[in-house]
């Protein structure tokens, strides 16, 4: 039996609607799907509700992929695709599988020879890198940084050492309410000549991307709001 296709569907990272971030040809694809694996069903229904779905919302199959989903349950989520039906994978915001648990579904789909098709959409990580002015040919996204202060300092020193050894831009983050703590730790630990980019609320009207040397950040001592934020460091 021929398997279906798993479409990786981007979702807004700002206040736009799903129809505003998808290409016209991709809107047609998503509108025709009846089976979805999503991070949060409520958010998925809200996003899909902005499209002219070919199937009424009550009849659309929406399955949840959460932090509590066990590895041996992933195959069951993909059963429609295994049976030949096309499916969609959606994150709450941004691109599935990128800083998102969707990668677990994608690797399982690869095992069952399910065709995987990523659709074009916004990524705050890529947008931050684009706007930072730091090396975009050699970079690493490290995800969430350690919470313990000693471990945090050790991690930042390690990441900074990679900047100087191989010129690799290091991208990392923490939960919004710890933005200030992480920012101040970076200023404390890093070399004054290291460049730091603070990418706050990327994609939103009130967002900004600012890059300066640590030396200059220390003089300005910004107060960061509790909003989604990415931190990027490298030499220039």
- The rounded radius of gyration (Å) of the Cα atoms in the chain is 20
Residues 17, 98: contact at Cβ < 8 Å? no
Residue 209: the pLDDT is 97
pLDDT (tens place) for every residue of the chain, 236 residues total? 799 999 999 999 888 899 999 999 999 999 999 999 999 999 999 999 999 999 999 999 999 998 889 999 999 999 999 999 999 999 999 999 998 899 999 999 999 999 999 999 989 999 999 999 999 999 999 999 999 999 999 999 999 999 999 999 999 999 999 999 999 999 999 999 999 999 999 988 889 999 999 999 999 989 999 999 999 999 99
Report the alpha-carbon distance of residue 134 to residue 236 in Å, rounded: 7
User: Which domains does the chain possess?
Assistant: 5-118 (3.40.1010.10), 124-234 (3.30.950.10)
């Amino acid at each position: 039996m021929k398997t279906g296709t798993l479409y990786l569907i981007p979702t807004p990272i700002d206040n736009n609607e799903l129809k505003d971030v998808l290409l016209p040809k991709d809107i047609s694809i998503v509108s025709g799907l009846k089976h979805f694996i999503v991070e949060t069903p409520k958010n998925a229904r809200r996003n899909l509700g902005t499209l002219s779905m070919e199937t009424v919302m009550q009849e659309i199959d929406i399955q949840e992929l959460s932090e509590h989903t066990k590895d041996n349950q992933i195959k069951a989520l993909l059963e429609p695709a295994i049976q030949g039906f096309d499916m969609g994978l959606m994150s709450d915001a941004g691109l599935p599988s990128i800083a998102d648990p969707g990668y677990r579904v994608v690797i399982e789909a690869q095992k069952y020879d399910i065709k995987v098709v990523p659709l074009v959409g916004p990524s705050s990580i890529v947008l931050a890198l684009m706007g930072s002015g730091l090396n975009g040919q050699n970079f690493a996204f490290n995800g969430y940084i350690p919470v313990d202060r000693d471990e945090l300092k050790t991690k930042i020193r390690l990441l900074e050492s990679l900047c100087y050894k191989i010129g690799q831009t290091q991208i990392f983050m923490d939960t919004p309410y710890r933005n200030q703590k992480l920012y101040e730790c970076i200023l404390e630990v890093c070399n004054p000549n290291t460049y730091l980019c603070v990418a706050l609320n990327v994609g939103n009207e009130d967002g900004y991307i600012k890059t300066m040397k640590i030396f200059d950040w220390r003089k300005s001592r910004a107060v960061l709001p509790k909003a989604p934020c990415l931190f990027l460091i490298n030499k220039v």
